Structure 1
Amino acid sequence: LPLSFRLIVFDTSLLVKESLNILIQNGIVSAPLWDSSTSTFAGLLTTSDYINVIQYYFQNPATLDKIDQFRLNSLRGME
Protein backbone atom coordinates (compact mmCIF):
# COMPACT_ATOMS: atom_id res chain seq x y z
CA LEU A 1 0.00 0.00 0.00
CA PRO A 2 1.10 3.59 -0.47
CA LEU A 3 2.50 5.27 2.63
CA SER A 4 -0.63 7.39 3.00
CA PHE A 5 -2.68 4.25 3.65
CA ARG A 6 -0.37 2.53 6.10
CA LEU A 7 -1.66 2.15 9.65
CA ILE A 8 0.56 0.98 12.46
CA VAL A 9 -1.21 -0.36 15.54
CA PHE A 10 0.64 -1.55 18.64
CA ASP A 11 -0.53 -4.33 20.89
CA THR A 12 -0.32 -3.38 24.55
CA SER A 13 1.93 -6.39 25.24
CA LEU A 14 4.69 -4.92 23.04
CA LEU A 15 7.88 -3.80 24.75
CA VAL A 16 8.24 -0.01 25.09
CA LYS A 17 11.75 -0.22 23.62
CA GLU A 18 10.45 -2.04 20.51
CA SER A 19 7.59 0.42 20.06
CA LEU A 20 10.01 3.35 20.05
CA ASN A 21 12.15 1.65 17.39
CA ILE A 22 9.08 1.06 15.20
CA LEU A 23 7.94 4.68 15.50
CA ILE A 24 11.40 5.95 14.56
CA GLN A 25 11.82 3.52 11.64
CA ASN A 26 8.48 4.59 10.17
CA GLY A 27 8.83 8.31 10.87
CA ILE A 28 5.65 8.58 12.92
CA VAL A 29 5.03 10.21 16.30
CA SER A 30 1.96 8.32 17.55
CA ALA A 31 0.11 5.04 17.14
CA PRO A 32 -3.14 3.53 18.41
CA LEU A 33 -2.92 0.84 21.08
CA TRP A 34 -4.87 -2.40 20.89
CA ASP A 35 -5.48 -4.68 23.86
CA SER A 36 -5.70 -8.16 22.37
CA SER A 37 -6.78 -9.73 25.67
CA THR A 38 -10.02 -7.71 25.66
CA SER A 39 -10.18 -6.98 21.90
CA THR A 40 -10.57 -3.27 22.56
CA PHE A 41 -8.89 -0.02 21.65
CA ALA A 42 -6.67 0.87 24.62
CA GLY A 43 -5.56 4.39 23.79
CA LEU A 44 -3.01 6.32 21.78
CA LEU A 45 0.74 6.10 22.25
CA THR A 46 2.44 9.47 21.75
CA THR A 47 5.82 11.06 22.32
CA SER A 48 4.59 12.40 25.66
CA ASP A 49 4.34 8.79 26.87
CA TYR A 50 8.06 8.35 26.23
CA ILE A 51 8.76 11.57 28.10
CA ASN A 52 6.82 10.11 31.06
CA VAL A 53 8.98 6.98 30.88
CA ILE A 54 12.17 9.07 30.93
CA GLN A 55 10.89 11.07 33.91
CA TYR A 56 9.90 7.91 35.77
CA TYR A 57 13.30 6.28 35.37
CA PHE A 58 15.06 9.54 36.26
CA GLN A 59 13.12 9.64 39.53
CA ASN A 60 13.46 5.87 40.14
CA PRO A 61 16.98 4.91 39.00
CA ALA A 62 16.91 1.67 41.00
CA THR A 63 14.32 0.25 38.58
CA LEU A 64 16.33 1.11 35.46
CA ASP A 65 17.64 -2.46 35.14
CA LYS A 66 14.08 -3.61 34.28
CA ILE A 67 13.58 -1.19 31.38
CA ASP A 68 14.11 -3.97 28.81
CA GLN A 69 11.08 -5.80 30.25
CA PHE A 70 8.78 -2.76 30.34
CA ARG A 71 5.62 -3.23 28.22
CA LEU A 72 3.14 -0.74 26.85
CA ASN A 73 0.36 -2.02 29.12
CA SER A 74 2.43 -0.76 32.08
CA LEU A 75 2.34 2.86 30.92
CA ARG A 76 -0.93 3.63 32.71
CA GLY A 77 0.76 2.99 36.05
CA MET A 78 3.26 5.78 35.38
CA GLU A 79 0.81 8.64 34.94
Structure 2
Amino acid sequence: MADEQQPKKAGALGDLVKAESMIQLALVLPIGCVLGWLIGHALDEHFHLGDVCGIIGIVMGAIGGFIQIFRTAQKYLKGK
Protein backbone atom coordinates (compact mmCIF):
# COMPACT_ATOMS: atom_id res chain seq x y z
CA MET A 1 0.00 0.00 0.00
CA ALA A 2 2.85 2.40 0.68
CA ASP A 3 4.03 2.06 -2.91
CA GLU A 4 0.61 2.97 -4.26
CA GLN A 5 0.48 6.24 -2.32
CA GLN A 6 3.87 7.54 -3.43
CA PRO A 7 3.90 9.41 -6.74
CA LYS A 8 6.04 7.96 -9.48
CA LYS A 9 9.31 9.78 -9.97
CA ALA A 10 9.05 9.67 -13.75
CA GLY A 11 5.59 11.22 -13.62
CA ALA A 12 6.68 13.95 -11.23
CA LEU A 13 9.75 14.67 -13.34
CA GLY A 14 7.59 14.80 -16.44
CA ASP A 15 5.29 17.30 -14.75
CA LEU A 16 8.28 19.48 -13.85
CA VAL A 17 9.47 19.40 -17.45
CA LYS A 18 6.01 20.45 -18.65
CA ALA A 19 5.89 23.26 -16.07
CA GLU A 20 9.31 24.48 -17.20
CA SER A 21 8.12 24.50 -20.80
CA MET A 22 5.07 26.56 -19.86
CA ILE A 23 7.29 29.07 -18.04
CA GLN A 24 9.49 29.19 -21.11
CA LEU A 25 6.44 29.93 -23.26
CA ALA A 26 5.48 32.79 -20.97
CA LEU A 27 8.94 34.35 -21.31
CA VAL A 28 9.85 33.73 -24.94
CA LEU A 29 7.63 36.41 -26.51
CA PRO A 30 8.60 39.36 -24.29
CA ILE A 31 12.28 38.39 -24.33
CA GLY A 32 12.21 38.11 -28.12
CA CYS A 33 10.65 41.57 -28.41
CA VAL A 34 13.14 43.15 -26.01
CA LEU A 35 16.14 41.54 -27.70
CA GLY A 36 14.84 42.57 -31.12
CA TRP A 37 14.37 46.12 -29.91
CA LEU A 38 17.87 46.24 -28.38
CA ILE A 39 19.50 44.99 -31.56
CA GLY A 40 17.39 47.33 -33.69
CA HIS A 41 18.17 50.27 -31.42
CA ALA A 42 21.90 49.53 -31.68
CA LEU A 43 21.60 49.42 -35.48
CA ASP A 44 19.64 52.68 -35.43
CA GLU A 45 22.35 54.35 -33.39
CA HIS A 46 25.10 53.00 -35.63
CA PHE A 47 23.49 53.89 -38.98
CA HIS A 48 21.52 56.97 -37.76
CA LEU A 49 18.18 55.70 -39.09
CA GLY A 50 15.80 57.03 -36.43
CA ASP A 51 13.58 54.31 -35.00
CA VAL A 52 13.13 52.15 -38.09
CA CYS A 53 15.37 49.25 -37.09
CA GLY A 54 14.04 49.29 -33.51
CA ILE A 55 10.47 48.81 -34.72
CA ILE A 56 11.53 46.14 -37.20
CA GLY A 57 13.48 44.42 -34.40
CA ILE A 58 10.39 44.34 -32.16
CA VAL A 59 8.29 42.84 -34.96
CA MET A 60 10.96 40.26 -35.80
CA GLY A 61 11.32 39.34 -32.11
CA ALA A 62 7.55 38.90 -31.82
CA ILE A 63 7.47 36.71 -34.92
CA GLY A 64 10.31 34.58 -33.53
CA GLY A 65 8.51 34.31 -30.18
CA PHE A 66 5.28 33.19 -31.82
CA ILE A 67 7.12 30.61 -33.91
CA GLN A 68 8.69 29.16 -30.75
CA ILE A 69 5.31 29.12 -28.99
CA PHE A 70 3.67 27.27 -31.89
CA ARG A 71 6.51 24.72 -32.08
CA THR A 72 6.28 23.98 -28.37
CA ALA A 73 2.48 23.78 -28.48
CA GLN A 74 2.62 21.34 -31.40
CA LYS A 75 5.10 19.17 -29.50
CA TYR A 76 2.74 18.88 -26.53
CA LEU A 77 -0.38 18.45 -28.64
CA LYS A 78 1.25 15.48 -30.38
CA GLY A 79 2.01 13.99 -26.97
CA LYS A 80 5.81 13.89 -27.18
* Band the TM-score falls in, shorter-chain normalisation: under 0.3
- TM-score of the two chains, using structure 2 as the length reference: 0.27
Structure with the higher strand share, 1 or 2? 1
Whose Rg is larger?
2
Q: Of Structure 1 and Structure 2, which has the larger fraction of its residues in helix?
A: 2
Structure scoring higher RCO (CA < 8 A, sep ≥ 6) equals 1
Q: Give the TM-score, by structure 1 length.
A: 0.27
